[in-house]
Amino acid sequence: MTMIDGNMEDGTWEGDIPGQGPGTIVYWKLIAEDVNGNTNETDNYNSYFIFGPSSDKLVYINQNLGFFWIWPIGSIFEYYFYYGSTENFDFWMAMYGSIPGELLPHYNVMIELTGGEGPQYINDDEVAEWWSGDKTYIVAGDEWLGRRSAWTDGETAEGSVARNILGIAYEYNDINYVYSEDKYGVSRLNPDSTGAASILYEFLSDSLLLNYDPYYETGNDNWLDGFEVVDGYIVDMTAYSGVLDSNGNVADDAEIYNVMVHGQAGNGGKSAFLSFDPIALNTTPSYHWVGASSYWNMFYAPNCPPNASPLVSVYEALAEKMIAKYPNSVALRFRYLTCLGKWAEVYGIFTAAKEGVADLMKEHSEIIIDLDSDYENGGGYFMLGAVHFKSPYIPFILSWPDNDDAIIWLRKAYNTGRALPVQKTYLARALFKDGQKEEALRLVKDVIATPPEQDEVLEESLEIEEAKKLLNEFQ
């Protein structure tokens, strides 16, 4: 500590905290001791987060966290997306401030979540500058439109992010709201059978109805907006105006508005807009928290698909559509392959196998190898080896998984580019399964002894912990 102003009795002091790597939360408190040995300290620890891009996908949590305030960032993500995994996504929180424009060029995908109270910051200038033909922009939450128009119904401006990127031609604010108590009310939504929310449509079938119920699910008010879409964009979900009556019925004079859309902008970029907070979706008469399906149904309703959530389904749909447009893009195909892997983790490997996900992972891995075998340090080899290792042999359904093939492909990944910790641990598990205990032990010990790369501290630190568990299992 150094005094920079005043005197020993009444001065201003400053000091430096040693630098730390990206992804680190630094906690600090001040302890002072005078020449007489008297000490005093701050009551609480202060903290700051060191941000550094580590992925090509960004989740921008641009909202008041509300009931989420007690949860770490990863847990918030698990509600909205894939339970049990936060890999391959970076997070920017509104508590960090408005998202810097110089950050966005690091990403090909941005998912902006504005919750039930609307965005904390408006970043249209930054998004417009970032936007290009290989970008995907997804927005979900209440009041995104109203914050920009001062809650005035009408046409969106030419050249605006709302019109030119998200495909919104005309906005209708607060379509649920007639009386003051309506902000606590429930809206009825209708997913389309052929759009990005078709998985949700199929799950509802003839027995369930879909509700937007933020007051119950998140403690927020209902400010559902409707809109008209630009030609060429696809409507995925509609909603009735007003709120449900005490019997759960829609008013006889209710009108229908669009509330979810996806499409392709003029420059080729993909986008989607959901004018509601997806985790506030549930069903009646049987209750399912479909907006947080991967989180909720893992424990309570495994028959509900994790991607019944319209946010998850549209994200996966856009990834697949981008592959169709750019079939030779290794990066897009690898991104989609990662999505399939997360799906399999949540659903369970047996279900993934029966639903054809394992076959898709094998197919895309082989294509990536053909296109660029060196991509992501042999990422195609690794994914192919991993799906061979993890997939079960099921006669007449899945007959190709083989541990010997897993070893072949995982070893190719290990020998391509930088041998990543996750490649070593997977190869070690396959070798141990084959009875090659000595080499398996050598690999996990190597992971434990190798410090994580500076730009992959979090992910590789987790893999080191996994290697320690494997070491105990193997010995």
pLDDT along the chain (475 residues), means of 10: 81 81 78 84 78 85 65 65 68 87 92 91 95 90 95 95 95 95 96 89 92 93 96 93 96 96 81 95 92 70 76 85 68 71 64 75 90 91 91 78 94 94 95 95 94 75 90 91
Nearest to 374 by CA among 435, 428, 331: 331
Could you give the CA distance from residue 266 to residue 98 in angstroms, rounded to a whole number?
27
- What is the reported pLDDT for 71? 47
- What is the reported pLDDT for 377? 92
- Domains of the chain in start order, with CATH, are 2-48 (no CATH), 53-308 (3.40.50), 331-474 (1.25.40.10)
- What is the reported pLDDT for 274? 98
Burial class (CB in 10 A: 0-12, 13-18, 19+), 331: middle
Could you give the CA distance from residue 138 to residue 464 in angstroms, rounded to a whole number?
33
SS3 of the chain: helix, strand, coil, percent, to 5: 40, 20, 40
- What is the reported pLDDT for 332? 64
Residue 308 Cα distances to 291, 296, 337, 354, angstroms: 8, 11, 19, 18
Supply 378's token pair: 């042999």
